[in-house]
Amino acid sequence: MYRSGTSRPLTPTSNNFPDSLSGFILFVEPAPIMSPFRLYVLILAAAVILAVAYFLLRRKPKTADDLERERREWLDRIGRITDGTVIDVQEMPGTRARSATFLIYQYDVAGVSYEASQDVTYLRQLINLHSCRLGLPTPVRFDPHNPGNSIVLSERWMGLRQ
C-alpha cells in the first residue's frame, strides 16, 4: 500500500508507518483455490442431473399409427364434406404380421379432381370391406386448407355405404 504523496511502500520498519500498527504483521489470506478434482466432480454431477432430467421429461416419439389416428381425429373435427366415389379396395402384404388394407377413392373440390387412398387396416372392425359398394357416391371429409388431405372413414365418422 502506498500513502498519498509518497512513493515508498509502508512497512513496519519505515518511519511513516502508523504507530498503532507498528507491532503487528499483517497477513492477507489468499483466496481459496478450487482444486481441479472438485471442479470435475461438479461438472460430472451437473451432467448427470441434466441427463436424468432429459430422460424423464422428454416426449416419446409418436408412431406412424398414432400420427395417422391424430390426422383422422383432426379431419373429423375440422373437415368439410364433399361427394366422392370409392374406386377400389386393395390389400397389400405388410411388413408386420397383418396385411395393409387401402381404400382408393376420388373426389372433386373447387373444380380440381383428387384421387387418394386411406389405410383402413386398424378400422376393419367398423366395416365389412368385402361388401363395400364400389362406384357409388360416398361422402369424403377433407381439409379446406389442403384438399389433398382427406378421409372416408374414421373412428367417429363413416362415409362408406354398406
Question: How many domains does the chain contain in total?
Answer: 1
Which residues on neighbouring strands pair with residue 141, listed in sequence order?
Answer: 81, 151
As a 3-state breakdown, the chain gives helix, strand, coil percent values, each rounded to 5, of 30, 25, 45
* 38 in a structural domain: no
* Domain interval for residue 94: 64-151
Max Cα–Cα distance, the chain, nearest Å: 116
Q: What is the pLDDT of residues 97-130, one digit of tens each?
A: 677 888 889 999 999 999 998 888 888 777 776 6
- Domain membership of residue 94 (yes or no) is yes
- Assess if residue 81 is contained within a domain: yes
Q: Which has more pLDDT, 80 or 60?
A: 80
Asked if residue 77 belongs to a domain, the reply is: yes
Q: Out of 17-21, 39-43, 46-50, 156-160, which region has the weakest mean confidence (pLDDT)?
A: 17-21
* 143 is a domain residue: yes
Question: Looking at the whole model, is its pTM more than 0.75?
Answer: no
Q: Domain containing 118 — which CATH number?
A: 2.40.50
